[in-house]
Amino acid sequence: MKIGQVAVEAGVPASAIRFYESAGVLPRPARRNGVREYGPEVVEQLRVLRFFRSAGVSTQAIAVMFAGASPVTKARNRHEIVLKRMAELDEVITEARRMRRRLTKLLACDCRGDTKRCVIFKEKRPDWSRRRVC
């Protein structure tokens, strides 16, 4: 299959396929007269890749996941990466809940502009060193 056919079947732009090749996530395909020729397995690989990207798994982590000589190694890599991503999501959820509680307190604040009564000024200073920016 040519890159355009793969792109349509996998639901990704051809540029994404080229990017994943250059990032080492997908193997470089054989070429015939300078044109990439893909086997049908690349469509499945791209669908798996899209799944993990939609869950926020990095391209670098996916490359590690696809690496390995044996199916057992690949499964172990995948398992470790999924567990790590789930832990990252737990941190994000915890932080989002903390932010929501702070905003809920602000909505309930009845200070009418008095900084001595305002929840913003009563709150202890947060420890910014614990928080990730992104």
Give the domain CATH number at 27: 1.10.1660.10
pLDDT of residue 36: 93
Residue 128: the pLDDT is: 64
* Domain ranges, residue 25: 1-57
Instruction: List pLDDT tens digits, range 23-57.
Output: 889 988 999 999 999 999 999 999 999 999 999 99
pLDDT of residue 65: 86
**Total number of domains constituting the chain:** 1
Chain mean pLDDT for the chain: 90
Any domain includes 5: yes
Question: Residue 102 domain-assigned?
Answer: no
pLDDT > 90: what percent of the chain?
69
In a domain, 40, yes or no: yes
Nearest to 47 by CA among 33, 35, 62: 62
Question: Is 6 a member of any domain?
Answer: yes
